[in-house]
C-alpha cells in the first residue's frame, strides 16, 4: 500500500518494476493516514502484477463513514475484463510528452512498452498533451499550504522532528497567500 500526493505510489512502483495505482480521488478512504495535502492525497496498491493490484483495489475501495470524501457510488468490478487482453484497446500516445525532459533510457523503455501493447492488438492514437506547467506550479502552492495546515499542531513547534526536505516544503507553505 502507498499514499500518493504527487507521485509516491507511481514513481517508486515504476522504479521497482511493480504495478502502482493512484485511484480516483475518493475511491479509497484516507482515514488513519498521515495527511500531507488533504485535497490531493490518495491511497492505492503497490503490487507485483495488475491482477493483484485489481484484487487489492477492489478490497480497499468503497464508502467509509470515517472519511466523508469517499465516493458513495458502487465499486466497479476491477477484474471483470482482465483476461480479455488489449486487442482493440485505444491508447493515446504523445511521443513528445513521453520523451521531453525525460531520461532517454526511460523514454525508450516506455515507447518499447507501448510497442508491445500495439503488437498485442492495441490501437495507438496520436495525441498532443496540453501544457501542464501552470498546473505544476499550482500543485506546489496548494500542496505546501495544505501540508502546513495538516501539520500545524507540530510545526514549527517541533521543527527539529522534521527532515530538511519537509521543513522546506512546510516553510514554502507558510509563504502562500490567500490570493495565491
pLDDT of residue 12: 96
pLDDT tens track for 17-43: 999 999 999 999 999 998 999 999 999
Q: Based on the number of CB atoms within 10 Å of its own CB, is 117 exposed (0-12), middle (13-18) or buried (19 or more)?
A: middle
User: 48 vs 1, 14, 44, 60, CA distance in Å?
Assistant: 12, 11, 13, 17
User: 40 vs 3, 119, 150, 178, CA distance in Å?
Assistant: 10, 36, 12, 18
pLDDT of residue 6: 92
* CB-based contact 119:151 (threshold 8 Å): no
pLDDT of residue 180: 85
Specify the DSSP element, H or E, that contains 167.
Answer: helix 164-174
Q: Which residues of the chain have pLDDT under 50?
A: none
pLDDT of residue 81: 87
pLDDT of residue 114: 97
pLDDT of residue 178: 87
pLDDT of residue 33: 93
Amino acid at each position: 500500500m502507498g499514499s500518493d500526493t504527487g507521485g509516491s505510489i507511481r514513481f517508486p512502483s515504476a522504479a521497482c518494476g511493480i504495478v502502482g495505482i493512484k485511484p480516483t480521488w475518493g475511491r479509497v478512504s484516507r482515514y488513519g493516514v498521515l495527511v500531507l495535502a488533504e485535497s490531493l492525497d490518495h491511497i492505492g496498491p503497490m503490487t507485483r502484477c495488475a491482477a493483484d493490484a485489481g484484487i487489492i483495489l477492489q478490497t480497499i475501495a468503497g464508502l467509509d463513514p470515517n472519511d466523508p470524501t469517499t465516493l458513495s457510488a458502487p465499486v466497479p468490478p476491477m477484474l471483470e475484463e482482465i483476461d480479455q487482453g488489449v486487442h482493440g484497446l485505444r491508447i493515446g500516445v504523445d511521443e513528445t510528452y513521453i520523451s521531453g525532459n525525460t531520461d532517454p533510457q526511460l523514454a525508450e523503455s516506455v515507447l518499447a512498452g507501448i510497442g508491445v501493447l500495439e503488437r498485442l492488438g492495441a490501437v495507438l492514437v496520436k495525441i498532443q498533451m496540453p501544457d501542464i506547467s501552470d498546473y505544476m506550479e499550482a500543485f506546489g502552492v496548494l500542496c505546501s499550504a495544505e501540508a502546513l495546515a495538516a501539520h500545524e499542531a507540530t510545526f514549527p513547534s517541533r521543527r527539529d522532528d522534521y527532515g530538511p526536505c519537509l521543513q522546506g516544503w512546510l516553510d514554502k507553505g507558510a509563504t502562500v497567500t490567500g490570493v495565491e
